[in-house]
Structure formats: structure tokens, C-alpha cells
Structure 1
């Protein structure tokens, strides 16, 4: 006859024996498995991109952005977008470059050049101000207003700096060159110090005018700014997390 024991209610029933002892262990194993699954889900959530959508970036600039003298597919915004996508970023970069434009002119068209839904802006204005010898204080004021207005709209900004040409003299350079790092620092935004880094003055990377990069020159510009562009996208993600 099977062993029998009293249940808590006093009834006489078959003893559970090994099956009764196994049940707690089964529940414990199931609990551990569930806890492990929850931890895995949490890890996936933490390490997954915060934005489950395409990040929209506007490149706001002059002929260096617009792609003067190169094919549309070779322009800076197109090459930068391709480089970022090759590194796994879901991003679209709109070309809002206008050849010959100054910082003040960029400010005048800011609202319609940077539409609603823009996540970030690469601000690359100031080269024409320098080439025309405009007062640096005018350039500084325009760039400051552009950055401030973009920030007020919740848009993350990367300032692409410019440097004065040597023929403008040391006095002008001393007033012009600090504009970009100082505006970026004052406004608390990202800075890429020199948009033409590695390209300016290199005849093999520029068109015949010596001012505008050729396709290879644009590629050098993209390679230089790429890490900072990735930092810009990361900042967009941080902002998105903070607003959720």
C-alpha cells in the first residue's frame, strides 16, 4: 500500500513523496528562468537605439555645403549621409546650402530652411563673411542668433568653424577665428573647429578657383567631421531620452 499522510485539512491522502519535494525546485527553476528573461529584455532595451525612427539633420551653409562645382551626389551632405549610414546610423541629411551666402543671410532664411521635425543642424556659415571682409562682430551676432533660435526649438547644433585666409592679415584673423569656438562655448553646442581642415591650401583637393573642394576634397571634409557628426547624433539621442 502507498504511504499515506494527513493533509492540512485532516483528510487522509496518498503521500506526495519525491514529487512533492520536486515541485519547489521546479518553481525555483522557472522563477530563475523568468528572471533571466526579464534581464535579457532589459539589456536589449538599454542597448537598442533610443530613436526608432530616422534622425533628420539639416546642413545649413553656403557653397561648401551646397556643393558648388561638384555633382549633386558628391556634395558634402550627400557624402556625409552615406558615411554615417555605412556606420549603421539611420539618418537623412538635407542640403540647405546656398552659394555666396553670409551668416546674416542664413539667419534671414532660418525658419524655412530648417523645417519642423528637424532633429539637428550642422551650421557651416561664415566663409563668405570672411572672404568679403565683413566685420567679425556682425558674423558673431548672426551665428549667435541662429544657434539660440535652433536651441529654442529643441534642435541639436554642431557649429562647423572657419578660419580667416592669410591674406586678410593677423588683425582680422585675431577677431574672426575665435568667433566659432566662442559661440559654441557660450551656447553650449558642439564644435568642429575648421570645416576645411585638411583641404584648405591643397591644390589636389580643390577646384581651379582654389576655394571650393573637388569631390576628393569633400571626402576629406567628411572623414574629418565624421566623428563629430556621430557625436551630434548621440546628442540627439540623449535629448530624446531626456524628453521622454
Structure 2
């Protein structure tokens, strides 16, 4: 199967796609032929840069701006999504307002250990990492075509003990549970729902953990490959799950950590 254009005719929405893992996912899905809605919360310039890069490489994309973790966030995302899709002149082959792939990638971190946790940070973590994906799925389902894909970006922290990131891990654990329940509920429509759990990836989110050569080497050593992951390592797995090759895979937690802490 030629996977280079495996997603031709598909419409994808990737949240938090202005940088890091989300950016890599958006670029890969576009390379595979999907029309990609590049969502951003506050990084407008970065998201427009992603869209420009995708178009430069022959792909199709448009920006979707809406902050997550606030009242009405899911409605705002899809209002922007519909507006962006409607403005496109090359979307005739894509059913208007429809969606095939939803990637819940946007997230926030930095919760700290339990003794340092504060309610405001905890609430923000749950609002963005768990509540927003829940209601994005709710809003997406009426427009998602049968055979669609929902891919939730979780974290190795939901299955391994990282006390310094407790609230973050709890929010990602909620996402894992949502994956299981949705997979069973949506199976009749041929919609697959899976979790992708990265380990340590070179992104802005964990830059402080790579601040020195020693710290970087220590992180790399936790993988059996003795390196820190790249956003493309995660994006390639997401592309597989988004394709028809993954039609018989649902309700799964895919550890994409390079064998961290085996």
C-alpha cells in the first residue's frame, strides 16, 4: 500500500498544532493527503507558519484559532473549523463541514509534586488535558464520517510514576479511560479510538529537563535507543492509526517512548 497519499480526501483536525508534536502530526497527515485544520490557542504566528509550510510542500491546511480550557471552547473550535473549511477553494472533494480524523494533542504541563500543587493549576490541567478533548469529541461526532479516527495524545506519565507531574499524569490518565469507553461506544460506526503515549520528546514542554548536557544525556539514557525522541517519531505512529491500515486497532494504548525505563 502506498502510504504517501493514504489520507487523500480525508479531513483532519489536530489540536495544539502550532509547535512540537502537534506540528509534526499536522505536517505528516498533510503529507499523506489529508486536508488539515491546524488548531492553536495562543500561538497564532506559529500556527500560520505551520500552514504556510504545509502549503509550500504541496499539502493542504488552514488555521483554526480557539483557546482550550475555557467555557465554550469546543463550540469555538468547530465554529472556526467550519469557517476555515468554508473559505477554502480546494475543498470541493471534501464533504462540507465533515471530519474524518480528530487528534487531541493540545495539552499543558507543569503541575509539580502533590505538596506544591495549587487548585488553579490543577483545574487548568484538567480543563485543557481532559475536559476539552471530551467535549471536542462530543462536538465532532455528529460531523464525523463513519470509519473515522479519534487519536488521543497521552503520556508515558499515565502508566509510570512521575511524582513531580502528578496532576498532569492524572489528567492524561483520564484521557486513557476516555479512549477505552469511546472505542466500545463508537465501534458500530467503524470509528477507531486510540491513545498514543509519548515518552521524552524534544519539545518546548520539557526543555527545562534538557537544560544541560548532563541532563540531556540522562534523559536519552532512559530509552533503549539512548536518544531523546523526536516529534516525527510520534507523528509517524499517529499517521498509521489515521490510515486504513489501522482499521482493526481500537481501544489501545500505544507506548511511543523508545522503550523508556524497560
**TM-score, reference length from structure 2:** 0.46
**TM-score, reference length from structure 1:** 0.49
Higher helix share: 1
Which structure is larger by alpha-carbon Rg, 1 or 2?
1
